[in-house]
Amino acid sequence: MVRTRFAPSPTGQLHLGNLRVAVFNHLFTRHHGGTFVIRVEDTDRERNVPGALEAILEDLAWAGLHWDEGPDRGGPFGPYLQSQREERHREAALELLRAGKVYRCFCSDAFLSAVREEGEGGAPGTGCPGACQQLDPAESERRVGDGDAATLRFPVPAERIRVEDAVRGEVGFHGHDIGDFVILRADGRSTYNFAVVVDDIDMEITHVIRGAGHLSNTPKQALLFDALGARRPVFAHLPMVLGDNRKKLSKREGAAGVAELRAHGYPPDAVVNYLSLLGWSPGDDREVLSREELESELSLERVGASDAVFDLEKLRWISAQHLARLSLDALVAAVEPFLDRTKFPLEGQDLRRGVEAIRTRLHTLGEVNEHLELLFPEASALAAGVEEVRGEGLEAMRVVAGVREALARLPTWEAEPLAQTVRDAGKALGARGPALFHPVRLALCGARSGPDLGLVLAALGRDRTLERLGASRLTDLGLDGVWV
């Protein structure tokens, strides 16, 4: 069975680069009917942020990336907090020591720093800078017994290390460029690469899908899998995602946080859809895919190795397409949490018709208030629109009065008959195009353009429409009814 893991560190908010890795793991796992695991890498205690883990889990749940095992729900391979697995890491490191697969290193941090400063640390080289690997085992034991601090180092062979990558094919690294590396610090804490491998083995992870930034860790981890007698997982390194500045997308480079996208009202299915396209293609020209389509079709075979560029406008476009696919009732329910009810106290049918009028303009749910202002502008904007109508002269005022009279005769108030009535009134008045629609829109909403006029009229309702169209006070000029 396929088992994947997403392993966030609770050092801050989840950003889009992180979420993209989770998206690929989740979709790939669901495609194969496998198990998706959340494992938290929280051993860097100084950088851990209180509440960050809870926020990360909340963001993942919002995105619909529901996990099967994790710190909040347990599972057969727990614990799922790396900090609670430290004893297991030490035990595994000592097993390697007893098997002669690692050695004790007594080089102090000060000595290692001095070596680097002398220019001998640029290319690590194989072996330990202090030749600790050549120590007699009895001497090593004696020094530990005397209280000398020692790390455990893994000896890297001076040969080419080959790793098969599901995205990039075979990748190779030379041991000389890696050097012997520490797996257990002098204080007994495991290093990142060792803890990850031990946890992946214990949790039976079959596929390690992650960003290209982890590629340099892979030869060390591959050697550790081999040393621990475990089968290597399938490694798949996703292409790097770049920002507008062509630098790697990251928190430091201004990558949007998932919480920020939520606040703006991007639908989660749209975000998942867009992130899946950063490195993967369905093999045709489709760009808008449902969750079900993504889970059915995403595979590592169609993941490319070329860098992808994050395009906010493309995300906005995909978001608009997903919103357009929603039923009106579903869209109304989705926008309600974003609605500013102090400005737009709409309920029931009024809210439904208001959302229907503006729905084609929405890129995010959070834009609902901006676009509702097209229907319900400030009083000053309405007054300015009326003044524009009056300023355009008698013909524009005559058009508004004629349309108002025609609408007042309607027995029902639905979008299509309303739009047709406006057109018929314009024909009778000899007004068409801008000569018809600009004055009417200015009187209704204080602007020359906007959503479909029939939908606008339906959303405003009979009383509000007739009141606004009557605001140009053509009766003051003795022109009431002259349109016919």
Question: What is the CATH classification number for the domain harbouring 168?
Answer: 3.90.800.10
Q: What is the 3-state secondary structure (H, E, C) of the chain?
A: CCEEEECCCCCCCCEHHHHHHHHHHHHHHHHCCCEEEECECCCCCCCCCCCHHHHHHHHHHHCCCCCCEECCCECCCCCCEHHHHHHHHHHHHHHHHHCCCCEEECCCHHHHHHHHHHHHCCCCCCCCCCCHHHCCHHHHHHHHHCCCCCEEEECCCCCEEEEEECCCEEEEEEHHHCCCEEEECCCCCECHHHHHHHHHHHCCCCEEEEEHHHHHHHHHHHHHHHHCCCCCCEEEEECCEECCCCCECCCCCCCCEHHHHHHHCCCHHHHHHHHHCCCECCCCCCCCCCHHHHHHHCCHHHECCCCEECCHHHHHHHHHHHHHHCCHHHHHHHHHHHCCCCCCCCCHHHHHHHHHHHHHHCCCHHHHHHHHCCCCCCHHHHHHHHHHHHHHCHHHHHHHHHHHHHHHCCCCCCHHHHHHHHHHHHHHHCCCCHHHHHHHHHHHHCCCCCCCHHHHHHHHHHHHHHHHHHHHCHHHHCCCCCCC
Q: What is the pLDDT of residue 255?
A: 61
Mean pLDDT of the chain: 92
Same domain, 96 and 161: yes
- Determine the Cα–Cα distance for residues 217 and 265; give it in Å rounded to an integer: 37
Q: What is the pLDDT of residue 125?
A: 57
Q: Is residue 78 part of a domain?
A: no
Q: What is the pLDDT of residue 245?
A: 75
Same domain, 366 and 423: no
Same domain, 368 and 384: no
Structure-model confidence comparison of residues 237 and 133, the more confident one: 237
Domain count, the chain: 4
pLDDT over 80 at 453, yes or no: yes
How does residue 221 score in pLDDT terms, banded at 50, 70 and 90? very high
The CATH number covering residue 341 comes to: 1.10.8
Q: Is residue 195 part of a domain?
A: no
Q: What is the pLDDT of residue 476?
A: 52
pLDDT over 60 at 414, yes or no: yes
Q: What is the pLDDT of residue 481?
A: 43
The CATH number covering residue 431 comes to: 1.10.10.350
Residue at a domain's end among 347, 372, 397: 372
Q: Is residue 484 part of a domain?
A: no
Q: Is residue 197 part of a domain?
A: no
The CATH number covering residue 265 comes to: 3.40.50.620
What pLDDT digit, counting tens, does each position of 49-76 carry?
Answer: 999 999 999 999 999 999 999 999 999 9
- Determine the Cα–Cα distance for residues 23 and 280; give it in Å rounded to an integer: 12
What pLDDT digit, counting tens, does each position of 304-335 carry?
Answer: 999 999 999 999 999 999 999 999 999 999 99
Q: What is the pLDDT of residue 273?
A: 98
Structure-model confidence comparison of residues 247 and 409, the more confident one: 409
pLDDT over 80 at 256, yes or no: no
Same domain, 344 and 391: no
Domain of residue 171 covers 87-184
What pLDDT digit, counting tens, does each position of 327-378 carry?
Answer: 999 999 999 999 999 999 999 999 999 999 999 999 999 999 999 999 999 9
Q: Is residue 67 part of a domain?
A: yes
Listed range (238-242, 246-250, 468-472) with the worst mean pLDDT: 246-250
Q: Is residue 216 part of a domain?
A: no
Whole-number Cα distances in Å, 437 to 385, 426, 463: 13, 9, 20
Same domain, 310 and 348: no
pLDDT over 50 at 479, yes or no: no
Q: One of 101, 248, 251, 427 is an active-site residue; which one?
A: 251
Q: Is residue 222 part of a domain?
A: no
How does residue 472 score in pLDDT terms, banded at 50, 70 and 90? low
- Is 251 in the active site? yes
Listed range (195-204, 241-250, 383-392) with the worst mean pLDDT: 241-250
What pLDDT digit, counting tens, does each position of 103-157 carry?
Answer: 999 998 888 877 777 654 444 556 788 789 999 989 999 999 999 999 999 999 9
Q: What is the pLDDT of residue 247?
A: 76
pTM value is 0.90
Phi-psi category of 12—alpha, beta or left, where left has phi over 0 and alpha has psi -120 to 50? left
Q: What is the pLDDT of residue 122?
A: 41
What pLDDT digit, counting tens, does each position of 421-444 carry?
Answer: 999 999 999 999 999 999 999 999
Mean pLDDT of 147-176: 95
Same domain, 96 and 8: no
Mean pLDDT of 453-460: 97
Same domain, 20 and 45: yes
pLDDT over 70 at 252, yes or no: no
Same domain, 385 and 367: no
